[in-house]
Structure 1
Amino acid sequence: MRVWLIQTGEPVPLSKSVKRIRTALLASELASRGHHVVWWASSFDHGSRKFVAPGGSTHRMDDGVELRLLPALGYKNNVSLQRYIDHRYVAGRFRKELKKDHLTPDLIVAATPDYHIAAEAGDYAAKLGIPYVVDLRDVWPDSVVEALPRGPVRMLGKIALLGDFRKLRRTLQRASGLVGMMQSMLDWGLGYADRLQGPNDRVFYLGTEPLPKSDNLFLEELKSKLGPGEYPTVIYVGTFGRFNHPEVLLSAVEQICGETSRRPPFNVIIGGEGDRYDSIRRKYAHLPGVHFTGWLTAPRIAAVLSTADIGVVPWASGIAFPNKAFSYLEAGLPLIHSAGGDLQQIGEEEGFAEFFEPGNAKMLGEHLLRLLKDPETLRAMSKCALQTYSLRFRSEAIYQDYANYLESIENIR
């Protein structure tokens, strides 16, 4: 079977230091079964905000996956007109590629975002009678509108994007199946498709590639900064975007310092970069016990996780299941989070997480202080985290099931 995977927002594993996530793991699983897999991606990396290779280049990966990088314009900010123009440009370059004499795929899996390129894939598939599946990764363009100031500006934004909403609706309604990375995301997509969930609409959680070995040199540097083990360690690893950033954690630390007139009774490691990295680091550089690492390779992420006692997953609003939550669970870390939807439900059911209201630094600080004074509860939550990861979120099992599902979609044509 010839399969096209279309995902322009994930890191492409051109080096072994890049941690593979959803599309890379699915592509590898499909290729291992003898399928010919082409992954259409952007030459611009969303996470690092850097071009990773020339646009129009093709790369053969070690697992046999063919990676085709589309030319891109790039952008600086996560929510910006510049990013919107980049997405439209990449979709246009993909449309031009479709006019070339490529081998016609038997099945297409297109992720949204970006819904522009997913729509191009949907139009192409509908024209040739090819089944296609949409992998729902975020609630765009809804989240674009929500990022605008309330009132007239938001209303004008929604009016300006009416064509995009129609494009998304048409793409989802014609799809052979919808896949969500959580049930609440699938429900959102089914709402736009204007139908109930059917047998070809499924949930496959993100999962993560197993953690690599730690960067030992970096780990020793971390330990020297953290001190002799007097304090437990709380971590945030992720981006510094509009919805997912560590400011609420740093604000909680600041409040604790103000109330006690001393350093917090724990260390904090902040890993990652993004749009708000520089401003947040400047604002909270004075806090004792807080360490910013900047961007992290996968072995360095593993090192950070190995030092931690609690992982914090802040989310500004709405439903989410950030992929770093899976890394925390694999490492056996209790979670404190503010993400609604599946993470909140599963965390409560399985006992590995506590929820705080989005943006509520005081509530987060109270959770941290209480749990860090209760090693027995932390050990129980850690055990639950490891058990939940093993039973529900192992990437190997997730992507085997995902590949089985795609094979069944292709067979119904």
Structure 2
Amino acid sequence: MNIWIVCEGEPLPINGLNGRLMRGGMFATQLALLDYRVTWWSSTFLHYEKKYISDELQTILVNPTLKLKLLHSPNGYNKNISFKRIRYSKDLGREFRKQSRKEDRPDIIYCSWPLIDFAYEAIKFGHEFNIPVVIDIRDFWPDIFIQPFPKRLQPIVKLGISCFLRRKVSYVMKSATSVVGVIPKALDFAKSYGRVLQEQDHVVHLAYDNTPVLTEESSAANFLWENYGLQKNKCIVSYIGSISNRIGDFDTLIEAAKKCEDPSVIFVFCGTGNYFAELTERCKDLKNVIIPGYRNRAEIQALLKLSTFGLLAYRNTDDFIDSLPNKFGEYLSQGLIILTSLRGASRQILEKENCGTYYQDASSLLECITRIHYSTLEKEQMTQNALNLFHREFDASQVYSDFYKFLEATAYVAKNKG
């Protein structure tokens, strides 16, 4: 089967680039290993690093069954929500429209949402050549565009956005062969733009590939954390992700660390981002905080094996309140008890499955850590519940295997209809 992955903004499997593969990347590489012919449409601009790897269209053969088509836009952006990024989206859509006609036609197209114009052109291509298109909703564009504006201006901005973009968004949502999403709210989003949900529309969680790293990589990673003084007998509370103050609620974490008088509790804030320098400066005198910067997959896996708790320390903005980010499954894979500041989907799942808890502020965060850490039976039960939930709903080997079968069946039905 020939499949196109239309997915921008994720790390790419190119030598010399950092970043662990995310959902689209995992789909592309795993499908290629299963002997599908895969073309991954992405961009020469790296979303997380905010830099280019080329100033022109690139075609890269990763292996005999996986090809990267990296489209180029001159409108690289610094802010994730910005007018320049909207222009960037339009550029990629226009380039996809031109370049897609030069490639062998696929049996099915999997397209992640956003970007709006990328998805819009993928749907148009699918209609033109009778090819099924599956839209995977991960972010609620354009609804989140109003967030940077003052509250008093948001109704006006929302009206303007609706005038300019609603037609395209509605076209995509109504016309997709199937709509999937990482949480149930994603399907509600599709409905809000006119889609009548169908049997093939469903939730596919952001799953995590828990394949063990190589022994030599694991040994080096363990040595790193030993040098930081981390041991299994400590109560390690880990945050893995972007160090961005717009996304992460680091004020609460810092306050909790300052208030914490238990010497066995250590906070680890792992990652990089535009708030990294300020976070490091604010925590420089805190002996119970470690900020090791960006770490590779082996080092993250080793850290989580040592940890008791995993932090989902996000602000309750419209685009995050109901999110289940990549690290949700990653924490569960090692049996971590998840502490979330989010009031939406993550809290509901954690409380239902008894494998984590919600905290409101620094005091309640510390109370959760202390209570669970010193209640051995509760801690062991929550750890086991986390592992059970992972294997049932967030293990990539199962979740994505089922999704690949779904893509294959969708392509088969479309082909036989034609």
- TM-score under structure 2 normalisation? 0.88
Q: Deviations over 1:159-203 (max 9, x none)?
A: 3322123321211111111011122222222322342x3112011
Structure 2 counterpart of 1:312, which letter? L
What does 1:6-405 align with in structure 2 at a 5 Å threshold? Answer: 6-15=6-15, 18-52=19-53, 55-62=56-63, 64-72=65-73, 73-98=75-100, 100-152=101-153, 154-162=154-162, 163-195=164-196, 197-213=197-213, 214-226=217-229, 231-241=234-244, 244-257=247-260, 265-317=264-316, 318-357=321-360, 360-405=361-406
Residue 351 of structure 1: how far off its partner (Å): 1.4
Q: Distance in 1 between matches of 2:205 and 2:13?
A: 20
The alignment partner of 1:108 has SS state of strand
Q: 8 Å contact 2:256–2:365 — kept in the other structure?
A: no
The alignment partner of 1:118 has SS state of helix
Residue ranges of structure 1 left out of the alignment (5+ in a row): none
Residue 242 of structure 1: how far off its partner (Å): 5.8
Residues 1:105 and 1:298: Cα distance change in structure 2 (over 3 Å) = same
Residues 1:331 and 1:352: Cα distance change in structure 2 (over 3 Å) = same
Q: Distance in 1 between matches of 2:284 and 2:65?
A: 45
Structure 2 counterpart of 1:339, which letter? L
Residue 340 of structure 1: how far off its partner (Å): 4.2
Residue 249 of structure 1: how far off its partner (Å): 4.6
Residue 321 of structure 1: how far off its partner (Å): 0.2
Structure 1 counterpart of 2:158, which letter? K
Residues 1:179 and 1:243: Cα distance change in structure 2 (over 3 Å) = farther
Residue 59 of structure 1: how far off its partner (Å): 2.1
Q: 8 Å contact 1:320–1:340 — kept in the other structure?
A: no
My pick for the range that moved more, 179-188 or 320-329, is 179-188
The alignment partner of 2:267 has SS state of strand
Q: 8 Å contact 1:112–1:118 — kept in the other structure?
A: yes
Q: Distance in 2 between matches of 1:211 and 1:34?
A: 20
The alignment partner of 1:109 has SS state of strand
Structure 2 counterpart of 1:203, which letter? V
Q: Distance in 2 between matches of 1:377 and 1:55?
A: 56
Residue 240 of structure 1: how far off its partner (Å): 2.7
Residues 1:53 and 1:28: Cα distance change in structure 2 (over 3 Å) = same
My pick for the range that moved more, 109-118 or 204-213, is 204-213
Q: Distance in 1 between matches of 2:257 and 2:230?
A: 20
Q: Deviations over 1:280-310 (max 9, x none)?
A: 3333333221111212221221122122111
My pick for the range that moved more, 186-195 or 314-323, is 186-195
The alignment partner of 1:41 has SS state of strand
The alignment partner of 2:68 has SS state of strand
My pick for the range that moved more, 363-372 or 114-123, is 363-372
Aligned-residue CA RMSD in angstroms?
2.4
Q: Distance in 1 between matches of 2:296 and 2:54?
A: 18
Residues 1:341 and 1:64: Cα distance change in structure 2 (over 3 Å) = farther
Residue 246 of structure 1: how far off its partner (Å): 4.9
Residues 1:228 and 1:95: Cα distance change in structure 2 (over 3 Å) = closer
Residue 325 of structure 1: how far off its partner (Å): 1.1
Structure 2 counterpart of 1:376, which letter? L
Residues 1:287 and 1:85: Cα distance change in structure 2 (over 3 Å) = farther
Q: Deviations over 1:87-116 (max 9, x none)?
A: 333333223323x42212221111111122
Structure 2 counterpart of 1:12, which letter? L
Residue 311 of structure 1: how far off its partner (Å): 0.5
Q: Distance in 1 between matches of 2:232 and 2:110?
A: 47
Q: 8 Å contact 2:11–2:18 — kept in the other structure?
A: no
Q: Distance in 2 between matches of 1:265 and 1:122?
A: 54
- TM-score under structure 1 normalisation? 0.89
My pick for the range that moved more, 376-385 or 159-168, is 159-168
Q: Deviations over 1:221-248 (max 9, x none)?
A: 3222236666421100011346632504
My pick for the range that moved more, 278-287 or 166-175, is 278-287
The alignment partner of 1:378 has SS state of helix
Q: Deviations over 1:226-273 (max 9, x none)?
A: 36666421100011346632504523424515xxxx576511111111
Q: 8 Å contact 2:232–2:306 — kept in the other structure?
A: no
Q: Deviations over 1:110-133 (max 9, x none)?
A: 111112211111122223332211
The alignment partner of 1:161 has SS state of helix
Residues 1:211 and 1:243: Cα distance change in structure 2 (over 3 Å) = farther
The alignment partner of 1:412 has SS state of helix
Q: 8 Å contact 1:267–1:289 — kept in the other structure?
A: yes
Q: Distance in 2 between matches of 1:141 and 1:242?
A: 22
Residue 63 of structure 1: how far off its partner (Å): 7.2
